[in-house]
Amino acid sequence: YLKNQKNDELIFELKIEGITNEKILSAIKKVPRELFVEQHLIKKAYQNNALSTDCGQTVSQPYVVAYMISCLNLKKTDKILEIGTGTGWQTAILSHLCKEVFTIERFNVLLNKAKKNIAKLNIKNVKYKLGNGIKGWKQKFLFDAIVISATSDNIPEKLLENLKLNGRLIMPKKYHTGNQKLLLINKKNENHFDEEELLDVK
């Protein structure tokens, strides 16, 4: 019961911060975040903060995850590529919002955790790959949306090739000034991409 109450408090906080998409809020509600955080951080599982995990990585801040997903305008029929599975929290949320999630993680420790966590929730529409996400999934595969969890200095070319026409990619981009912003990219055709800078992140 307490978990549900804490999750409700998190949902309420996300609404106050401007996340209004009911589908996303409902997906977050279905995924118990305490499954995805380190044992000693379980008390903090429903705080609106990033939490550290293995391999120097983090379980992303709920607001940023919800915001990034909301920018992608996902449909139930979509296939999405996630770069940076981590412990699988965002992966599990995405699984409730689209047809299939393809997710790539470079740390085996994290990928195995994610697989176990997601299996506990009986989620069946996720495909996993160990590797460097910058290289994309595979040549001829196209996605409706791509979400990149880790900051990068540049927009990975390969991933733009993996995007369908009118597909969207969202990522935190690092600028030479040292600050980071979320970048939303919309593929208009093979050579034309609309870029939009969104909020500052860290």
Torsion of CA 111, 116, 122, 127, to 10 degrees: 20
Indicate if 149 belongs to the active site.
no
Nearest to 86 by CA among 61, 68, 66, 63: 61
Residue pair 103/128 in contact by the 8 Å Cβ criterion: yes
Q: Active-site residue among 26, 52, 60, 95?
A: 60
Single-letter code of the amino acid located at 13? E
What is the distance between the alpha carbons of residues 76 and 154, in angstroms, rounded to a whole number?
A: 30
Cα–chain center distance at 45: 17
Single-letter code of the amino acid located at 154? N
Structure tokens at 7: 């999750």
What is the distance between the alpha carbons of residues 146 and 32, in angstroms, rounded to a whole number?
A: 23
Nearest to 84 by CA among 66, 109, 111, 63: 111
Residue pair 43/94 in contact by the 8 Å Cβ criterion: no
Residue pair 44/53 in contact by the 8 Å Cβ criterion: no
Q: Which residues are catalytic?
A: 60
